[in-house]
Structures are given as C-alpha cells and as structure tokens.
Structure 1
Amino acid sequence: MAARILHRLRHALEGAGAGAGAGGGAGPGPEDCPESSELEDDTEGLSTRLSGTLSFSSHDEDGDEDGDEGEDGDGGEDGGDQAAPGPPGDAAAAGSGGWSERPGSSLLTRQLQDLWRRSRSSLVPQRLLFEVTNASVVSERSSKYVLYTIYLIRSGQFDKAPAIIARRYSDFERLNRRLRGQFGSDLAGIAFPRKRLRRNFTAETIAKRSRAFEQFLSHLHAMAEVRRCPAFLEFFFLRDLQTAQRLTCSGMYREALAAWSNAYRLQDKLAVCSSGRFLLTLAGLAVCQQELDQLGEAHRHCEQALQLLETQHGHPLLGPFLQAHVHLSWRVGKDKRRSEARLQALQEAGVVLDQQPSLKEFLIKETLD
C-alpha cells in the first residue's frame, strides 16, 4: 500500500520534471531524490517489523492482506491486473475509480481496529519461569550447604507477586530420585547436576548448579503428567503449609499469614487452585486474617472457598466455611442469606452443625505430611 503511494509520488515528480523541461528548466528526475529511496527502505523495514506482530483470523481480511503483500512483493508495484496508476490529477478525475475509494484502501485501519478490539480481551500466552535469584552458603553445627532461593514468575505479563522457595541440593536430589522412580524413561533426557566430592562451595560450582536447577524445573514443568503429580507439587508448597500450620497453632498469626500467602501464590502459579491443599490454604488465610482483624480479606477467601465447594456437598470443610462466612458476612455487612440457606440444607440432610469443627480446629487437627 505504501509502495503504491510512493510510486504515485514518483510519477507526479516525473510529470512535474517533464513540464519544467518543456519550459526550458532542468527539473531533477526520481534518481536525484534520495528522500524517495530512504522513505521506501524505511517503509519496507516497518512492514517487516509489523508482519511478526499483527495477525488476523478473518478469512476475508487474510485474502485482502495477501493481495497487498503481492503488490509490494515480487509481483511488482502495479498490483497484478490493476492498471498502473497515473498522476494524482488523473486519479481525481477518475471519480469512483480513484485510489482513495479503491477496495482495500482502508484495510490497515480495519485490521488495526480489529486487533485493538481483540487484544483488550485476549490472553497473552504465558509460561512459568523458574529463576534462582540468590545462593547462600549456610553453616550449621555439623553441616554446611548451599541454599538456593528460587522465584516462580509468570511470563507474558508483569508479575507483581512472584512466589518464592528456598531449597538445598539434597531437596532437589530427593525430588529427582522420586520422579525418576515414578516416571522412569520419561525423564531419561533430563539432566541433573551430579554430586561432587570437592569444590562444592566455589562460585563457579554454585553458578552452574543454579542454572542447572532452573533448567531442571523448567523441563519437569513442561511435562503434563509430572507437573500434576504430588511429588512435584509438594516440593514447592508442602513446606510452607507445614510451617504455616505450626505457626497458626502457636498463635503466631502474622508470621503464619506470610507462610499461608506464599503457599497460596505457589499453588496459583502451579495452577492447582482446586485441590484439597488449596482449600486448606484458604482456611489458613481466613483464620489468620480474622485473628488480625482483616475481616474483608477473610470474607473474600471464604467466598472463594465456597465457590470451589459449590458442588461438593459432602466435603468436610463445607460446614466450617459456611459458618465462618455467615459470621464474617454479619461483621462486614455483606449478604449472608445464601450461606444460611446452604447450612439449612446441610441440616436437613442430617449434618449436625454443632458437631462441625471451626476452621481453626480443622487446621489444628489436619495432618500434613
């Protein structure tokens, strides 16, 4: 399209130069106008850059776009069967056959508008990145090891709340051993850094292992069966859940809330927000937030849990979450009638609500191993 316009400008310049020559002047030809060449090169570069960014799914628009590419490509600027354009004055005199009213003249505008409409509601392709951000040497009474801090980050968007884990070589080795025992040949092509008898704490060894652990986790997560298995998932968030439970039982609610929150982010990044562990995480968040007088957040997490329990009428956490939701709704001034109706339905089904544990009691009794 841009090349066609430039072609017309060149014809106009040629016409102007010829008219000046007839009058005794020596007007410059197209080859004497370096600006024309620069414009054409820049336009071609712009087309190349855009070709990898814009994509259109409409069959009609695809056909139009192919036609434009043919005009600017090997088929020449004349556009196939279309007659070569004359000077601008001829186009204006042609009326409905002029350039401004030809089919496809507003193609780029339509495509950009369509792309804008779709981009506002479309999802950017995302994947999970594992990045070792720190590695520190830890010395204890009888041992010395390297602790690797790993961030789980979603690509394709600004991730303002990455999840964090800290693991040592023995943790990775245990995960590797469990997965190879379960999946065998599926992991044959995935490398794992070997143990070393010496030089385990040099900067070179630590850097190489950091990169190796990033690649190891990325390869595992790329395998659908592996990333859904309990051994892989619990490597990330089981430790946080155990710490959060212990702190909650000790009444250290602020410290427990930080651990529950990180466990929440880890499960969200790993896309396991419908599991039993996630419901337990929501219970921990609600309990700690209620104890810290963060009632709005506690109410929100109860509602999230009840949405997950919508069809699980016999789940042991349904009664505790409903009772907590009714209480929190009353305190924050929210509608509690639906939860009360669900509690009534449980009673009619034979559930004795007085014997149902509270969320805190459920957290204390739950075994996490």
Structure 2
Amino acid sequence: MASRLLHRLRHALAPAEPAAGGAEAEDFPERSELEDDPEGLATRLSGTLSFSSSEEAVAAQSEEEAAGQEPGGGALSPSPAECQGSNLLTRQLQDLWRRSRKSLIPQRLLFEVTSASVVSERSSKYVLYTIYLICSGQFDKAPAALTRRYSDFERLHRRLRHQFGCDMAGVSFPRKRLRRNFTAETIAKRSRAFEQLLSHLYSIPNIRSSSDFLEFFFLRDLQAAQRLTCTGMYQEALATWSNAYRLQEKLDVCNSGHFLLTLAGLVVCHQELDELSTAHCYCEQALQLLGAQDTHPLLEPFLQAHIHLSWKVGKDKRQSEARLQGLQGNGVALQQQPTLKEFLIKETLD
C-alpha cells in the first residue's frame, strides 16, 4: 500500500510531457479546425490590429515607467529589429487609416442582406437577395428594402467600373461559379460580399451621388409603382411608392426629380384611396421642395392638387391660389398643364 502511494506521488510530481504538436498546438487549439483553409482564414484570424495613435502609445509607456514598471506589464522586450519592423508597420497602417478617414464618410447607413431565396422560373433559376437599408446610431422605425439578383449587382459593378475607373480599381466582386451556386455556403458568402460592396460604394462621394448607384436602389420601385398606378391598383402602388420614398430619404436624394415624382405618386394614391389629409401633407412637402421655381413641369399640377385638397380638408389655400394666378399672369398656359395623375401616366422612367 505504501509503495503504491509513493509511486502515485512520484508520478504527480514528474514534469508533464509536452502535448503532441508542441507549444503551437497549445497556443492555437483552433488550428486543427482550419487545416483546410484555401482562403487563408487562419492567417487573418491570427492577430489583432490596433489603430491607436503614437501619442497615446507614448503616453501609456510614460505612465508605466513612472509607476516603476517595465513597459508592457513586465513582459519580455522585443529585439530592436522587431521593434523597428513593428513600428514601421504600425505607422503605415496609421497613415492609411488617417487618409481613409479624410476621403470616406462615417457609415450612417447600413446595408444588410436579411434573406435570400432561390427562385425557379421556366427557363432560369436564380437567387433573390433582400437588402435592408437601416440608419445607424438610432432605432430605425421604417427601414427600406429592395430585392436584387446577382446579375443586378454585377451590372452595377460593371457600370461603375466603366464610369469611375480609379475609385473602383481596388473593389473586388464575387466571381461566377460553374457549380454550387445555390448552396447555403455560396449564398451566405455572397450575401456578406454584397453588404460590404454596397457599404464601400456608399462611402465614396463620387459614387454615392452617381445616377447608376442611386437608381440601383429605387428606379425599379418607381417603374413598378407607375405601372400599378396607371392600372388603378392604388393600394398596391401606394406600398411601392412608400418604399421608394424611404429609399430616397435614406440615400439623402430628396431634391431630385425622382423624389418629386414619388411625391406625386403618393398624392395621387392617397387621394384615390380617400386619405385626403395625408395626400395634402405630401403635396405641401412637394411645394416646399419646389420653392421659388416657376418653370418646373410639376409646379402647376401640385398647385392645382393643393388647392383642391386644401378645400376638401379645410386648410388655407390662398397662398397656392395667388401663386397659380401669378403663373397665369406670367403667360403660363395653365389649361394645357396635365394633372398629377396624367403626368404620372405620361412620364417615362428609364
């Protein structure tokens, strides 16, 4: 019995044998899960970059020295060659980060692919991605959504590369595949890639304000809403006009002709659905955007609609009446001007 206890004691006090694989296997236990790693995921996850300024680093080092400690909490100091190489890399990263902060805007708008569905038609099969536009830093009560295919993103990427060669030089795009296009893994990777693509494009001022980039988001909604309005499907058209309104509002393009056309669609649909107070509010918003313009083709139709709606809901219409009379005094042929509904039907959206 005593000999057995002595044997156990000697075994417990003996130094532990190193595990198979050496220290590297102990330090990086996840390495075994990343052996088959064609995209270099293990390399990208092996360290963390810090973008703190050099002044902050010097201040932290001074505090440690004043406290009588070695910088880094008593850890072994790297060699001079290692210090020089790491400092050089840190300075390069800091310079790159500062330059990017000057050219890129803070991300106030988030692009999130919330779902993706495989659609099968008679002659084709494709994935339809649903993208939400959400304002960051606050609770967004009315996010805007759109659905796009891989081919839509590819067309946008090709047009922007043709128009903005320098800005698009470093922008990558997920390549087409000969097979496995409809697996969950491929769809998930493309979803994340499309989110990053839209966020990066939105951060570049020239691209953010370009017609190709903006129309990618709302032109299709405007075309669909116009067709529904022309066929008298006002309830369905209203939902599409409203989504196009939110998309343009989040993209901050509320002074464009497309936005005025959207307001015209909202006025017409709310009026046809007997929601006159809401129609009146959108009409007033349009007149505020038009401001002092006297030659815009939508000015007289909005004035006519505002006068009619103001009379219906019991609001003051004298200012609109005076402005309409002023247009007539300037020689504008008011009888030839279409109504808002007629303007929507005739307008061509390319």
Q: Give the TM-score normalised by structure 1.
A: 0.66
**Range moving further from structure 2, 187-196 or 314-323:** 187-196
Aligned to 1:258: 239
* 1:126 Cα deviation from its structure 2 partner: 6.3
Structure 1 residues 341 and 141: CA distance shift in structure 2, 3 A = same
Q: Alignment length, in residue pairs? A: 250
Aligned to 2:343: 362
Aligned to 1:193: 174
Aligned to 1:128: 109
Q: How does 1:294-313 map to 2 (within 5 A)?
A: 294-313=275-294
CA deviation map 1:65-93 (0-9, x unaligned): xxxxxxxx9999xxxxxxxxxxxxxxxxx
Matched letter for residue 171 of structure 2:
I
Aligned to 1:209: 190
Q: Distance in 1 between matches of 2:107 and 2:206?
A: 19
Aligned to 1:12: none
Q: How does 1:12-27 map to 2 (within 5 A)?
A: none
CA deviation map 1:174-199 (0-9, x unaligned): 00000000001211111110111110
Of the candidates 265, 272, 278, which is equivalent to residue 284 of structure 1?
A: 265
Q: Distance in 2 between matches of 1:209 and 1:249?
A: 36
Q: How does 1:1-369 map to 2 (within 5 A)?
A: 127-369=108-350
Stretches of structure 2 lacking an aligned partner (at least 5 in a row)? 1-63, 68-105
Q: Distance in 1 between matches of 2:246 and 2:156?
A: 21
Q: Is the 8 A contact 1:126 1:156 kept in 2?
A: no
Stretches of structure 1 lacking an aligned partner (at least 5 in a row)? 1-72, 77-124
Structure 1 residues 289 and 74: CA distance shift in structure 2, 3 A = farther
Q: Which runs of 4+ in 1 moved over 6 A?
A: 73-76
* 1:230 Cα deviation from its structure 2 partner: 0.5
CA RMSD of aligned residues (A): 1.6
Q: Distance in 1 between matches of 2:66 and 2:123?
A: 77
Q: Distance in 2 between matches of 1:75 and 1:307?
A: 63
Amino-acid identity (%): 78
- Aligned-partner SS, 1:350: coil
Q: Is the 8 A contact 1:240 1:259 kept in 2?
A: yes
Bigger Rg over Cα: 1
Matched letter for residue 248 of structure 1:
T
Q: Distance in 1 between matches of 2:283 and 2:125?
A: 43
CA deviation map 1:130-189 (0-9, x unaligned): 000000000000100000000000001110100000000000000000000000121111
Q: Give the TM-score normalised by structure 2.
A: 0.70
